[in-house]
Chains A and B, each alone.
Chain A
Amino acid sequence: DTGVSQNPRHKITKRGQNVTFRCDPISEHNRLYWYRQTLGQGPEFLTYFQNEAQLEKSRLLSDRFSAERPKGSFSTLEIQRTEQGDSAMYLCASSFRSYGDAGELFFGEGSRLTVL
């Protein structure tokens, strides 16, 4: 399967612990997005990379959150000192952006975080 891959699919942690999620986008996709989705709501944008550069961050991305895409391929999203409010599904999406192309987003199946 050459779709967007996210790991782990499920993570249960205690409040105050750090967690890290990994996203492997579709090969050669130059754009990568992180979204967060809570129960019954639509996904909310967190941050976006074009190649290795993080170009936009939502105000939802507090200083406890950090995202990287070191070589312009896979990306990690780390949450430090987790809080119960961080419990959500974390979705990764990728797209290939070229001139004249609106760039459909391909989403992974998400990483579900439960903070106890």
Chain B
Amino acid sequence: DAKTTQPTSMDCAEGRAANLPCNHSTISGNEYVYWYRQIHSQGPQYIIHGLKNNETNEMASLIITEDRKSSTLILPHATLRDTAVYYCIVREYSNNNAGNMLTFGGGTRLMVKP
């Protein structure tokens, strides 16, 4: 079962920042927070991941609270092409043959409007 809770849907105006929240109150010390998104009729696409520090890349920023029980994905200047389902995933990392597979929940359907 997914270990995260996300709002079902959100709207954002084009050009504005999109802030997508995620709750993961049962996260453990060796679990990372991952974000993927899925644009209609495509496979999921990796966005960003983090353990406890805030992270930024060319796509987005990830803000993780100090207690690690929640996080926010920020798309700084949303465009129409950012309309997608965004999945927040808690994933264990370990140095063995375990699959470290992703367990997807329902995600947040972000609609960017002109």
Contacts and interface: CB of A to CB of B under 8 A. Distances in A.
Contacts of A33: 99, 101
A44 B97 CA distance: 20
A107 B45 contact: yes
Tell me if B's interface is mostly helix, strand, loop or mixed. Answer: loop
A43 B95 CA distance: 25
A45 B101 contact: yes
B86 to A, nearest CB: 11
Interface residues of B, number: 26
Nearest to A107: B43
Contacts, number: 58
Given A41-B106, A109-B42, A56 B101 contact: yes
Nearest to B105: A42
Nearest to B102: A105
Contacts of B87: 42
A104 B43 contact: no
A37 to B, nearest CB: 8
Contacts of B101: 33, 45, 48, 56
A42 B100 contact: no
Interface stretch (A11-19, A79-87, A95-103): A95-103
Contacts of A44: 104
A110 interface: yes
B46 A100 contact: no
Given A107-B43, A109-B43, A45 B102 contact: yes
A114 B30 CA distance: 39
Given A43-B44, A106-B46, A48 B99 contact: yes
Given A48-B99, A55-B97, A102-B93, A42 B43 contact: no
Interface in B84-110: 85, 87, 91, 93, 95, 97-107
Interface of B: 2, 32, 36, 41-46, 49, 85, 87, 91, 93, 95, 97-107
